[in-house]
Chain A
């Protein structure tokens, strides 16, 4: 079984709708991240969480919110989706017990906002 899972894998929605993307992990890592990937722009950090009570904005957090329900679950919400949020979204985890933040990625969620 995959260590980092994301649901849904694909989603098409309309402008103005609220969308939630979910991420679960069985790696036992405290740190979790949400990235979006756009062609030519690489991976950009939306939000990150170093434990259940610690949530931080990344470089492109506007229009997004997150919830860390448990160590293993980290959800990303788009309160009112807009077309330029169409992208591939990745969840990742890392282990603070190691001496650096190697990122382990989920399979991604492809979101299309019409």
Chain B
């Protein structure tokens, strides 16, 4: 039930764009995105709910395709501070006590 992320790793130059994908084998209620810097705790970026709209935060945005059980995270004009590991987290049943599953992560490195 762990969602699958792709790619596993990506290296970008400053100013380039990237897309990180998250796929689940089960119907999704919500998808969360987190970023983790090396040696630190994951930090919440945004959440997309079933039936909700595409979310954005500065130059990081995400979409949620409920039919395909997929979400994508878009990083536009990447900055050095975007480096880290990105995790998607999925809920299958909303606020019903279902487990929360994290993907295996995508390592993103932005170089000057």
Binding site for B on A (CB under 8 A): 33, 35, 40-45, 48, 50, 58-59, 90, 94, 96, 99-108
CB-based contact A99/B94 at 8 Å: yes
Counting residue pairs across A and B whose Cβ atoms lie within 8 Å, the total is 60
What B residues does A102 contact at CB under 8 A? 32, 44, 47
| A48 to B100 alpha-carbon distance, docked (Å) | 10
- A sample of 23 inter-chain contacts (CB < 8 A) reads A35-B102, A41-B104, A42-B87, A43-B102, A44-B2, A50-B97, A58-B99, A59-B1, A94-B100, A96-B95, A99-B94, A100-B29, A100-B47, A100-B49, A101-B91, A101-B100, A102-B44, A102-B47, A103-B32, A103-B42, A103-B44, A103-B89, A106-B41
Instruction: Tell me whether A100 and B30 are in contact in the complex, defined as CB-CB below 8 angstroms, given that A42-B104, A42-B105, A43-B87 are known contacts.
Output: yes
Q: Mark B62-99, 1 if CB is under 8 A from A, else 0.
A: 00000000000000000000000001010100110101
What B residues does A105 contact at CB under 8 A? 41-43
Instruction: Tell me whether A43 and B42 are in contact in the complex, defined as CB-CB below 8 angstroms, given that A102-B47, A103-B89 are known contacts.
Output: yes
| A108 to B34 alpha-carbon distance, docked (Å) | 15
What B residues does A43 contact at CB under 8 A? 42, 87, 102
Q: Smallest CB-CB separation from A108: which chain B residue?
A: B41
Contact of B94 among A40, A100, A104 (CB under 8 A): A100
Which 3 residue pairs are nearest across A and B when measured between Cβ atoms? A105-B41, A42-B104, A43-B102
What B residues does A40 contact at CB under 8 A? 104
| A94 to B1 alpha-carbon distance, docked (Å) | 20
Instruction: Tell me whether A48 and B44 are in contact in the complex, defined as CB-CB below 8 angstroms, given that A42-B87, A101-B91 are known contacts.
Output: no
Q: Smallest CB-CB separation from B103: which chain A residue?
A: A42
| A104 to B103 alpha-carbon distance, docked (Å) | 17
Q: Smallest CB-CB separation from A43: which chain B residue?
A: B102
| A8 to B41 alpha-carbon distance, docked (Å) | 15
What B residues does A104 contact at CB under 8 A? 44
Which residues, 3 to 36 on B, are CB-close (under 8 Å) to A?
29-30, 32, 34
| A55 to B40 alpha-carbon distance, docked (Å) | 27
